[in-house]
Structure 1
Amino acid sequence: MKKLWDISPLVHPDAPLFPGDEPYRLQWTARLSPQCPVNLSALTMSPHVGAHADAPLHYANEAPDIAAVDLDAYLGPCRVIHAIGCGPLIRIEHVEHAAEGLPSRVLVRTCERADTVWKDEFTAYAPETVAWLAARGVRLIGLDTPSVDPASSKSLDSHQQLLRADLRVLENLVLDEVPAGDYELLALPLKLAGACASPVRAVLREL
């Protein structure tokens, strides 16, 4: 059996999320009993809680929702690049050492341990790094922090670069135990009509 790395954080009521986002809530609508044959629950949450895939609709009106995006970007060969402690932005010099034979999916590990509480300061992508990766055939990028843009950004320059290059993105991954190198990525979004994002159960499998 090929080894799997689960790179998704636990989704729970205290999971870190952007201020103002809807937290995860689970409500039981039916419980197993002599009168009821099953347990049933209902969920309320922002689709940006936990590991998730942003849709272009998240950062551009009239852009595709998550149900409309092609799935092939979320499944296939992937490279994990370590840039631990690189500072507020992942710059080209932090990833260019791993550019030879680059597959079309790139995840960058920036943390020794992924945060389990919300912090205003985290590492994001420099927009020129997004463009540089796209120019080398990358179709999906990801990282182990809440966003490809800083929390304080109003222009969302890296998200807009994703839009221009038609890249897909995964955010809030957990890469704590993943060595740098090549893997198979499996991280399919749900087919949620009209949604700006979707939770994913992101997994890496050894090649």
Structure 2
Amino acid sequence: MAAAPSPPSPRQTLWDISPPVQPGSPVFPGDAPFSLQWAARIGPNCPVNLSTLTLSPHTGAHADAPLHYGDEGAPIGEVALEPYLGPCRVIHAIGCGPLVRWQHLVHAIPDPAALPPRVLVRTYARMPQDRWDDDLPAYAPETLERLAELGVLLVGIDSASVDPATSKTLDSHQVLRRRGLHVLENLLLDEVREGDYELIALPLRLSTACASPVRAVLRALA
């Protein structure tokens, strides 16, 4: 007798776009690597497991604070939360080269007036989750300028930085500062199709930190 067919899987409504944070997670050369130690373990005299973390706030999916690229900027615990929550558009610019330019995005912006205020760009076919990429793709500063002009509040990318790894002037970060743009870096977009979603990626209320890890997720629009 033939087995009954499996029921159809429900339509996916939630995408976790946060890479795992674990030993070996790539960080900018010289930054603090992730580590976890056990301060206590369950046993005869202890009812709980208790861990201690050491990590850079730029580990995994994270939100940079204005303080990261300007001494006068706010720490992450003082930034507004609204930009990290709401409609967004995921745009593919896979294999675009060292810089995401406007020409790599325009195919997904047929009506600029209808562009959501959050834009996430996928540049990797497969995001490197276990190694640092010296040739990481970044945003061209003029691309960020153009997005700001269209009313975008937050930009994201699946690489570790909106600037090239070798940059000393951080031109794209300075556009963020000047235009008041918020940013998410190190997003895992490997399984996400182009299109519109709801973004939920709230930073921790770290009162004096230059960034915060986020648990970034996308939810299907109703």
Q: What's 1:143 paired with?
A: 157
Looking at structure 1, the residues matched to 19 and 63 of structure 2 have their Cα atoms a distance apart, in angstroms, of 14
Which amino acid letter does the alignment assign opposite residue 164 of structure 1?
A: R
> Does residue 84 of the first structure (1) align with residue 94 of the second (2)?
yes
Which amino acid letter does the alignment assign opposite residue 147 of structure 2?
A: L
Which amino acid letter does the alignment assign opposite residue 115 of structure 2?
A: L
Looking at structure 2, the residues matched to 166 and 49 of structure 1 have their Cα atoms a distance apart, in angstroms, of 23
Q: What's 1:67 paired with?
A: 77
Unaligned runs of 5+ in 1: none
Looking at structure 1, the residues matched to 117 and 71 of structure 2 have their Cα atoms a distance apart, in angstroms, of 26
Q: What's 1:205 paired with?
A: 219
Tell me which of 108, 117, 124 is aligned to 1:104.
117
Look at both structures and tell me which one has the larger radius of gyration over its CA atoms. Answer: 2
Looking at structure 2, the residues matched to 69 and 58 of structure 1 have their Cα atoms a distance apart, in angstroms, of 12
Tell me which of 54, 62, 65 is aligned to 1:55.
65
The root-mean-square deviation of aligned C-alpha atoms, in Å, is 0.9
TM-superposed CA distance for 1:97, in Å, is 2.1
> Does residue 21 of the first structure (1) align with residue 31 of the second (2)?
yes
Q: What's 2:128 paired with?
A: 115
Q: Helix, strand or coil for the counterpart of 1:129?
A: helix
Q: How many residues align?
A: 207
Looking at structure 2, the residues matched to 64 and 4 of structure 1 have their Cα atoms a distance apart, in angstroms, of 31
Unaligned runs of 5+ in 2: 1-10
> Does residue 166 of the first structure (1) align with residue 180 of the second (2)?
yes
Looking at structure 1, the residues matched to 34 and 159 of structure 2 have their Cα atoms a distance apart, in angstroms, of 18
Which amino acid letter does the alignment assign opposite residue 190 of structure 1?
A: L
> Does residue 38 of the first structure (1) align with residue 48 of the second (2)?
yes
TM-superposed CA distance for 1:2, in Å, is 6.3
Q: Deviations over 1:76-106 (max 9, x none)?
A: 0000001011110000111122222100000
Q: Deviations over 1:125-152 (max 9, x none)?
A: 0000000000000000001000000000
Looking at structure 1, the residues matched to 101 and 157 of structure 2 have their Cα atoms a distance apart, in angstroms, of 13
Q: What's 1:182 paired with?
A: 196
